[in-house]
Amino acid sequence: MTTTLSHTAVAAPRRRLQRDQVIGLLMVALGLFTAWAFGLGSAGRSHSQFTFNPVNTSGTVPWHLGALTLPTRVSCLLAGALIVAGGVEILWRRPRRALMARFGGGAVLFFLAILLWASRTHGPSQVSFVNLTSVLVGGVAPAVVLIYGSLSGVLCERAGVVNIAIEGQFLAGAFLGSLIDSVTHNFFFATLGGVVVGAGIGAILAFFALRYQSDQIIAGVVLASLVISLGSYLNLQVLTPYPQYNAGSPAPNLTIPLLAKIPVLGPVLFDENGYFYLAVVLVLLISFGLFRTRWGLRVRAVGEHPKAAASVGIDVIRTRYVNVILGGVVAGVGGVALFAWQGQFQPGITSGYGYIALAGLIFGRWRPSGVVVAALLFGMSVYLANNLQTYQVPVSTSILLMFPYVVTIFVVSGLIGRVRAPAADGIPYQRD
């Protein structure tokens, strides 16, 4: 019933807020909140400090940047005003392009205001400064994992298969990565493990979705839950009695010689572990592959209109198999990256990242570049949720930890509106 034709026929014009208006209104609200909570919420005389020198990088620092001291209230009010201005500009001029860039700018200002407010002097905080470099490094780490998950989604869904099992592939990758790293102390083999197990789960999903045409969302959710229970089972049955199999360590950083010494950006972009660089390569590769090569054109054709694709001789089922397995590989490596960031496996290690990655995929509109922006937004909220406690903000830990999930809900509901996925996404294909 959800063929492309009926879709265009049903999409009758409705009087409702356009997506850009929603974004504009949201930004105005966010700006007002920033000004109220963080600007007026801090005493007039308090100050906040940004520092820039990295605390724990593997390379030595040839430069030394001074701290930047800002008056908290004025800065937060300014940030709020800028966000409001951005929102008003969207509502007023209704710009066609770069909406997300504007919203991203607003989000950055919002995060900065939170940090300024949390670290203000004469506040509850013992720590009276924010190390901006550490914040960026810390926010990129979860973002990398999310990028893998969303890229996996891009590969699968561009070919028309919904992959909800990303959470399961993450968990399996993290489990096997941890196991292999504990035994061999070699992240290359760990990554291979992630590749194999991710591909395996991808193959099972493809098998159920393509050969037996099960409902893809159901198969994905059930498969993910199955892998998660299996992880919990193996944790009790294998890892608890043999703790030597869960004795891995975080992946070491690979420092790129000269570039790593650039202030602020160096530690963030050029002093990361291998999974970061691999993610960058994958983003470029998939972006190029999908939109600039014959392979990509075929994949997109299969995802948009499989019958048409089949009529020009493309093997729809085979394309989908290949892409779902490739997607599984990417998500499996993402699971290893998750372990490489945390350094130890535990049953709840994924904590919904696979599902957040799906939201990032939708937010990023099924494009690798959009996915990166979404992952950074979510990564930063994960970092803030985990680290604002150091500043003893007057909010309970549990409430803070809700932050990334609530951001996700806001993003899928407010920012995206009705999405347009690849037209045949999630619909089983039957050969005639």
Partner 1 sequence: MRRLARWWRALYASPVLLTAFAVVLGLVVGMFVIIFTTTPVLDAWRGFFNSWGSPGHAFKATLDYVGAAYRSMFNGAVIDPASLWNSLRTGQGWTQTLTPLSETLTYATPLTIASIGVGITFQTGLFNIGANGQAIVGGIIGVAVGSSLHLPTVVLIPLTLLAGVAGGVVTGAIPGLLKAFTGAHEVIVTLMFNYVANLLLIFALLSTPLQQPGQGNDISRILRPGALLSPLFGATSGLRVNWGLFIAAAVVVLAWWFLERSSLGFEFRVSGANPHAARVSGINPRKVTIVAFLISGGLAGLAGITQVAGTTHYIDGGFLVGSAGIGFTAITVSLLGRNRPIGIMWGALLFAALGVGGRSMQATTGIPLDLATIIQYSIVLFIATPVLVEEIFRLRARGVGGLQLASQGWNT
Please report, as ranges, the residues that interact with partner 1 according to CB under 8 A.
Answer: 1-2, 6-7, 10, 22, 162, 164, 208, 212-219, 221-223, 225-226, 228-230, 232-234, 236-238, 347-348, 351-352, 355-356, 358-359, 362, 396, 398-399, 401-402, 405-406, 408-409, 412-414, 416-421, 423-428
Q: Residue 385 corresponds to which tokens in the numbers above?
A: 């949720």
Cα separation of 360 and 325, whole Å? Answer: 20
CB of 176 to partner 1, least distance (A): 14
Of 7 and 94, nearer to partner 1 (C-beta) is 7
For residue 399, the tally of other CB atoms under 10 A from its CB is: 11
Burial tier of 131 (Cβ tally within 10 Å: 0-12, 13-18, 19+):
buried
Minimum separation from the CB atom of position 162 to partner 1 (A): 6
- For 140, 367, 374, 379, the CA distances from 270, given in Å and listed in that order, are 12, 24, 21, 18
If the CB atoms of residues 76 and 219 are measured against partner 1, the closer one turns out to be 219
Question: At CA 347, angle to CA 345 and CA 349, rounded to 5?
Answer: 65
Indicate the helix (H) or strand (E) that contains 139: helix 132-158
Of 271 and 304, nearer to partner 1 (C-beta) is 304
DSSP state of 244: G
CB within 8 Å of 370: residues ≥ 6 apart: 100, 363, 364
d(CA 65, CA 63): 6
**What residue has token string 């009087």?**
15
Q: Give min distance, CB of 274 to partner 1, in A.
A: 29
Q: Which of 273/408 has CB closer to partner 1?
A: 408
SS3 309: helix
CA–CA distance, 175 with 173 (Å, rounded to integer): 5
Q: Which is nearer to partner 1, 19 or 189 (CB)?
A: 19
- Indicate the residue among 129 and 207 with the shorter CB distance to partner 1: 207
Name the minimum Å distance from CB 419 to partner 1.
6
Residue 76 or 151 having the CB closest to partner 1 = 151
Residue number, 167 or 271, with CB nearest to partner 1:
167
CB nearer partner 1, residue 181 or residue 304: 304
List the helix and strand counts (H, then E) for the chain: 17, 5
Distance in Å, CB of 344 to partner 1, minimum: 19
The least distance separating partner 1 from the CB of residue 4, rounded to whole angstroms, comes to 9
Least distance CB 167 / partner 1 (angstroms) = 9
CB of 87 to partner 1, least distance (A): 18
What is the DSSP code (8-state) at residue 404? H
Q: How far is the CB of 43 from partner 1 (least distance, A)?
A: 27
Residue 287 to residue 358: CA distance in whole angstroms:
17
Per DSSP, the residues of 177-212 read HHHHHHHH--HHHHHHHHHHHHHHHHHHHHIIIIIS
